Amino acid sequence: MTYSKSTLWHPFTQHGIAPDSIAIDHAKGAYLYDKDGKRIIDAISSWWVITHGHCNPTIVEAVQKQAAKLDQLIFAGFTHDPAEKLAEKIIHHTGGFYDHVFYSDSGSTAVEVALKMALGYWENKGKSRRKIIALEHGYHGDTFGAMSTGARSVYNRAYEPFLFEVEHIPVPFEGEESKSFEALERILKNNVDDVACFIFEPLLQGAGGMHLYSAEALKTLCDMCKKHDVFLIADEIMTGFGRTGTFLACDQAGINPDIMCLSKGLTGGFLPMSATICTSDIYQAFYSTDKSKMFFHSSSFTANPISCAAAVASLEVWENEDVQGRIDAIAKLHKNALKSLGARPDVENTRLLGTMMAFDIIAEEGGYLSSIQPYLYDFFLSRNILLRPLGNTVYILPPYCVSEKDLEEIYDTLHLALDSLRDERQQCAV
Ligand SMILES: *Cc1c(COP(=O)(O)O)cnc(C)c1O
């Protein structure tokens, strides 16, 4: 290994083997452009955040206007129009069930806020419920609370001794639902009056490997929790804003969690921002004349006006354009593509939910560190497509503006990549 120094320390990057990072100059719609004008299809929405497309003109205009008017403002004791307007829109778009919106700046912090709301609720009520239930294979972010609720894996092995205890139950995968229900029932029964909340990624577990489980199973888990007054925390950070085919994944399960975390697609992926939304029951547990009962949390950039303006504009795109039509069209094309991909002998576990399609490549060594991953990543990039498999799981998660032609190109390239991988393996076997 030759030591090559990079001033920038990139996320999820092993600099000892990573090639130089690709410098992007500008982006538009579903495309990234490098300095030489080379065009790359962003088939994973720049890590799942871009919804309508890069540099959406409605959002660009709103951000430019807001930037010239009010840049940043302390949000304790002060408020501003973009924050107020956004809160109204969030409550409207999430079905009118929620009463309060708490802003922060990333998905991880939205999760920390949600956990602190649930645990703080029980403290303020003098009941001190302290157990948190989460799903196996989950991912809720990289801060310590979020890591604690997520799966224990190579991602966080070094920090495991510092993570707090969380009860992880099996995911109710198809055919294994009863295992999950029984585990939850056992925990609820053995810890009566001690479980504070159940946190989950609804229907689709992203970073854990694009795993799906059914809306019915989720509804059952939630009903069981509600019988024991356990708060439901939906982490809709990746699933929200149309990703799974409906505005929220929870809509498909017919559930109304007490607390919901929103981020990634909140601003259309334009600027960092998150919101933790909750019912008045939660809010009222902190509402008092006693200062020590207030919610002790803030980030410096809470409710940044420019981020709020971007989010308002993104929701206006939802209101004024046929976003749902675009999502449905992608889902239909994905479904077709999966037929031929699923028929291949080297592919298994095809899955589809809204704009997300995924499959596993049958491999001897699976998992996040699978050697198939870098091979495929390079293969796609050499054909000007950004796809970033999770180990031997390949998934597509495009911006909603992606064209049919681009999707067809991506699907064709998937077949080419699989053929190439097969030929490579045969050569190795000789
Ligand atoms: C990305 C993600 C997070 C963390 O969001 P950050 O903005 O990266 O902190 C949390 N939960 C889920 C489900 C995510 O996909």
The answer on 418 and 361 residing in a single domain is yes
**Ligand 1 centre distance from Cα of residue 107 (Å):** 4
Predicted local confidence at residue 426, as pLDDT: 82
The answer on 361 and 255 residing in a single domain is no
Which helix (H) or strand (E) segment is 27 a member of? strand 24-28
- Band (pLDDT 50/70/90 cuts) for residue 364 is confident
- Band (pLDDT 50/70/90 cuts) for residue 368 is low
Predicted local confidence at residue 425, as pLDDT: 81
Lowest mean pLDDT among 162-176, 320-334, 366-380: 366-380
Average pLDDT over residues 175-204: 98
Index of the ligand 1 atom closest to the CA of residue 138: 13
263 lines ligand 1 (CB under 6 A): yes
Q: Distance between CA 388 and CA 395 in Å, rounded?
A: 8
- Determine the residue type at 78: F
The answer on 112 and 254 residing in a single domain is yes
CA nearest to 425, candidates 348, 358, 345, 339: 345
* Phi, psi for residue 62 in degrees, rounded to 5: -65, -40
Q: What percent of the chain has pLDDT over 70?
A: 98
Interstrand relation of 231-235 and 259-262 (parallel, antiparallel or unpaired): parallel
The answer on 187 and 49 residing in a single domain is no
Tens digit of each residue's pLDDT (9 = 90 or more) over 124-134: 999 999 999 99
Predicted local confidence at residue 366, as pLDDT: 59
Predicted local confidence at residue 369, as pLDDT: 63
Domain count, the chain: 2
Of 17 and 112, the structure prediction assigns the larger pLDDT to 112
Q: Distance between CA 4 and CA 345 in Å, rounded?
A: 41
Which helix (H) or strand (E) segment is 277 a member of? strand 274-278
CA within 13 Å, CB half, 273: 28
**Ligand 1 centre distance from Cα of residue 111 (Å):** 8
Judge contact between 141 and 111, C-beta under 8 A.
Answer: yes
Predicted local confidence at residue 1, as pLDDT: 63
CATH code of 327's domain: 3.90.1150.10
Q: Is the pLDDT of residue 302 over 80?
A: yes
Structural domain that includes position 381: 2-56+322-429
* DSSP structure class, residue 350: E
Index of the ligand 1 atom closest to the CA of residue 111: 10
Average pLDDT score, the chain: 96
| Last residue of one domain, picked from the residues 273, 301, 320 | 320
Index of the ligand 1 atom closest to the CA of residue 109: 9
| Last residue of one domain, picked from the residues 264, 299, 320 | 320
The answer on 157 and 302 residing in a single domain is yes
Closest residue to atom 10 of ligand 1, CA basis: 140
- Band (pLDDT 50/70/90 cuts) for residue 155 is confident
CATH code of 294's domain: 3.40.640.10
- Band (pLDDT 50/70/90 cuts) for residue 200 is very high
The DSSP bridge partners found for residue 42 are 386
Judge contact between 125 and 285, C-beta under 8 A.
Answer: yes
Paired tokens of 279: 């019912």
Q: Is the pLDDT of residue 371 over 90?
A: no
Give every CB contact of residue 258 below 8 A, 6+ residues apart in sequence: 118, 197, 231, 232, 233, 278, 279, 281, 282
396-430 CB burial, b ≥16 within 10 A, e <16: bbbbbbbeeebbebbbebbeebbeebeeeeeeeee
Predicted local confidence at residue 430, as pLDDT: 62
**Ligand 1 centre distance from Cα of residue 247 (Å):** 17
**Ligand 1 centre distance from Cα of residue 238 (Å):** 7
237 lines ligand 1 (CB under 6 A): yes
Q: Is the pLDDT of residue 178 over 90?
A: yes
Give every CB contact of residue 172 below 8 A, 6+ residues apart in sequence: 179, 180, 181, 213, 214, 217, 218, 220, 221
- Band (pLDDT 50/70/90 cuts) for residue 427 is confident
Judge contact between 262 and 225, C-beta under 8 A.
Answer: no
Q: Is the pLDDT of residue 318 over 80?
A: yes
The answer on 376 and 228 residing in a single domain is no
Q: Distance between CA 359 and CA 346 in Å, rounded?
A: 10
Predicted local confidence at residue 339, as pLDDT: 98
* Ligand 1 pocket, mutate which of 45, 46, 238 (most atoms under 8 A from CB): 238
Judge contact between 399 and 59, C-beta under 8 A.
Answer: no
Place of tokens 């303006």: 309
Average pLDDT over residues 391-395: 95
